[in-house]
Amino acid sequence: MYDICDNKLSYSSRGEKLIVEAWGNNAFRVRATKKKAFSSQNGALTEAVESCNVKTYKNENYAELINGKAKVRVDKFGKITFFNSNQKVLEELYRIKTVPTTHINSLHFAAREYVGITRGAWEITLRFESNDGEQLFGMGQYQQPYLDLAGCTLELAQRNGQITVPFVLSSLGYGFLWNTPSVGNVVFGKNMTEWHFDMEDEIDYYICMGDTPAEIVETYTSVVGRAPEMPEDLLGLWQSKLRYSTQDEVLKVAEEYKRRNIPLDVIVIDYIHWKKFGNWSFDSECFPNPSEMTEKLISMGIKPMVSVWPALERSSENYNEMLEKGFIVDTDRGLPIHTDFFNLSYFDATNPEACEFVWDKIRNGYVKHGIKNFWLDCAEPEFRGYHHDNYRYADGNTTAVANEYPKYYTKMVWDGLKSEGEKDVVSLVRSAWTGSQKYGALVWSGDIESTFDALKNQVQAGINMGICGFPWWTTDTGGFMHGDIDDPKFRELLVRWFQYSTFCPVLRMHGDRMSSKHIPDGNRYFAPNEIWSYGEEVYEILKKYVSLRESLKPYLKEKFEEASKNGAPLIRAMFYEFPSDKECWKLSTQYMFGDKYLIAPVLEAGVTSRELYLPQGEWKNIFSGETVNGGKYISVDAPIDVIPVFEKM
């Protein structure tokens, strides 16, 4: 029933084929299918790896592979069990496995369940036994207040604000990656863990072992890819809002920053700077000379970034040609209109020819004017109702492949700019999949609410994205949804969010702002969002944190270099830096910024102090200069101009 050859353990029974193979160090890749043959694709496991010192064992009851700190056992019934250096950590669920197959028992649960569907694929469920007390982290970005995902049910699909990166890190010392882009869900239940997918050809997952979270993340990112080094001239303040409508408006904002002597690294030109979605060029009436605009901005030391959508209006200049060439996402039912917003359709980023076509338009519309950084908005893309079964990519029905779209979209720009000779490529992206980071994806958390609850959710999201191998991550400071610039409550939120953003990988102002007061053009929306737009008191506080951010640039450069070498995130769970401190595994509202700074953002309105935990050692409050011995909880003053930050001494 099973055999071992060339570091691979194979098993077959009742039409199912199973392969377990050593994959790099301390890790395995597992595949199983009922089709005639396995796929030749490696999914997210794109990086070349070598496995060393793999040992094997086989007897009449089971076979084993041992790969460094990882061991896997497959028994004669096909059940898989994984071990790290210390213990059994993950075991497939078979409630009644030893009952002879000729007997029927209603309590039998199959660990690997295949249900045939009419589209020629399978509905697949994979089940594991749960471990009491186990904590689980990662999985990408979900707008929820939970850092520990044990007990959570998660949809495995991309949405605006939700990013599926199906890698989970366990407190028991392993990392697990589901290695296909299928739409589905996972339940990290108390009684079992269940991965379920509506349309899939095979089970494909990767599991690695490590003594610390840092070792696990380093091993995992070695096989899926790591972010490049972030350019030094992007480490300061980024200015953005919904939206700068004209070339003149963009330049006036940049000039005002210059006049006030406030360092600004990037200014972002948001959507509808074009005549039509799908033209991929400036509206010549509003942006009459983009080359001149770019030259002026660069002369001020400010890099321009331009929003690019994967969307087309039917009346755009490229729609008919792209439809005829099959470059637009198809539908199995109805017209190829994918969202109610402007009745937009999306181009198929899984089609290489479509990517070449769109990149050519972007190159002629923007790159020739000196634009080298792009904001890849709506990168999920945002389907009407997310009815995945009705949409079809070149790679297949979206139910089977949807989650990979943002990775291809980001790769299109990476490949295009590299072909233009660009060394540093950074794209601000609203969605991602496993491995997107290696294509210069700076992920942001989407169109989130302007509330303290949303701010709290971002702390969890940033930590979990970092665990998934994404050191480049940011948010809309102040939230996206309609903050009123004249409202004292929103001003308080903005200050607290800006303080938090100062200790994020990228500090970026953005949002759909409004004003309860009269705006010169009569429109209470698209209100100002520059740091001086919120009154003198707020301005002085934000200016203080821009200066602090500037002082952190050498440290940021060092941490971004580290991230590119070993996958270490900048936003780190407390347990990432202090894995032997049991208290650190409980903390979800504070984090380490690199290995040096402990950040405890204020996450409630009207609060002027907060409790935080300091691990063992000596810590210095960077604002008061006071030093404190750790290993305990303390209460810290946090007036409106202070975020509690402690430096490890």
> What is residue 508's predicted lDDT score, i.e. its pLDDT?
98
Distances from the Cα of 493 to the Cαs of 372, 455, 610, in angstroms?
33, 9, 16
> What is residue 522's predicted lDDT score, i.e. its pLDDT?
57
CA distance 526 to 40: 50
Q: Is 447 a catalytic residue?
A: yes
- Chain CA centroid to CA 84, Å: 27
Q: What does the pLDDT average to over 99-113?
A: 62
Q: Is 380 a catalytic residue?
A: yes
Q: Which of 21, 380, 404, 577 is catalytic?
A: 380
> Does the pLDDT value for residue 65 go beyond 90?
yes
**Residue 517 — pLDDT band, cuts 50, 70, 90?**
confident
DSSP secondary structure of 560-585: HHHHHHH---SEE-HHHH-TT-GGGG
Closest CA to 468 of 511, 437, 503, 512: 437
Alpha helices (H) in 420-552, listed in sequence order: 452-467, 488-502, 536-551
User: For residues 445 and 501, is the Cβ–Cβ distance under 8 A?
Assistant: no
Sheet hosting strand 303-308, strand order edge to edge: 473-474, 441-444, 427-429, 373-376, 303-308, 266-269, 237-239, 507-509
> What is residue 218's predicted lDDT score, i.e. its pLDDT?
98
Q: Which of 148, 215, 270, 377 is catalytic?
A: 377
> What is residue 626's predicted lDDT score, i.e. its pLDDT?
97
Closest CA to 506 of 452, 578, 456, 556: 556
Closest CA to 600 of 569, 570, 636: 636
Q: What is the pLDDT of residues 134-157, one digit of tens each?
A: 999 999 999 999 999 999 999 999
Q: Is 295 a catalytic residue?
A: no
> Does the pLDDT value for residue 102 go beyond 60?
no
> What is residue 119's predicted lDDT score, i.e. its pLDDT?
65
> Does the pLDDT value for residue 99 go beyond 90?
no
> Does the pLDDT value for residue 422 go beyond 60?
yes
User: Amino acid identity of 429?
Assistant: V
Residue 592 forms beta bridges with which residues?
Answer: 572, 598
> What is residue 318's predicted lDDT score, i.e. its pLDDT?
98
Q: What does the pLDDT average to over 98-125?
A: 71
Q: What does the pLDDT average to over 304-332?
A: 97
Q: What is the b/e burial string over 214-232, where b = at least 16 CB atoms within 10 angstroms of the residue's CB? A: bbbbbbbbbbbbbbbebbe
> Does the pLDDT value for residue 385 go beyond 90?
no
Residue 168 forms beta bridges with which residues?
Answer: 138, 176
Q: What is the 3-state secondary structure (H, E, C) of 260-292?
A: CCCCCCEEEECCCCCCCCCCCCCCCCCCCCHHH
Beta strands (DSSP E) in 189-230 are: 192-200, 202-209
Q: Any idea which of 94-108, 430-444, 456-470 has the lowest mean pLDDT?
A: 94-108
Closest CA to 196 of 184, 188, 179: 184
> Does the pLDDT value for residue 308 go beyond 80?
yes
Q: What is the 3-state secondary structure (H, E, C) of 341-373?
A: HHHEEEECCCCHHHHHHHHHHHHHHCHHHCCCE
What phi and psi values does residue 107 have, to the nearest 5 degrees? -90, 0
Structure-derived torsion over alpha carbons of residues 541, 544, 546, 549, reported in degrees to the nearest 10:
-130
Q: Rounded to two decimals, what is the model's pTM? A: 0.96
Structure-derived torsion over alpha carbons of residues 317, 319, 323, 327, reported in degrees to the nearest 10:
100
Q: What does the pLDDT average to over 169-184?
A: 97
Q: Which of 148, 218, 265, 447 is catalytic?
A: 447
> What is residue 101's predicted lDDT score, i.e. its pLDDT?
45
> What is residue 387's predicted lDDT score, i.e. its pLDDT?
87
What phi and psi values does residue 262 have, to the nearest 5 degrees? -105, 120
Cα angle value 198/203/205 (rounded, 5°)? 120
H or E stretch covering 28 = strand 27-33
Q: What is the pLDDT of residues 210-243, one digit of tens each?
A: 999 999 999 999 999 999 999 999 999 999 999 9
Q: What is the pLDDT of residues 553-609, one digit of tens each?
A: 999 999 999 999 999 999 999 999 999 999 999 999 999 999 999 999 999 999 999
Q: To the nearest whole number, what is the mean pLDDT of the chain?
A: 94
- Chain CA centroid to CA 621, Å: 31
Task: Say how many residues make up the chain.
Answer: 649
Q: Which domains does the chain have, with CATH numbers?
A: 2-224 (2.60.40.1760), 232-566 (3.20.20.80), 571-648 (2.60.40.1180)
Give the pairing of strands 512-514 and 481-484: parallel
CA distance 474 to 443: 6
CA distance 174 to 157: 23
Q: Any idea which of 99-103, 391-395, 616-620 has the lowest mean pLDDT?
A: 99-103
Q: What does the pLDDT average to over 36-44?
A: 92
Give the pairing of strands 571-572 and 396-397: unpaired
- For helices 553-566 and 213-224, what crossing angle results, to 10°? 70
Q: What is the pLDDT of residues 364-381, one digit of tens each?
A: 999 999 999 999 999 999
User: For residues 578 and 605, is the Cβ–Cβ distance under 8 A?
Assistant: no
**DSSP tally for the chain: helices H, then strands E:** 12, 41
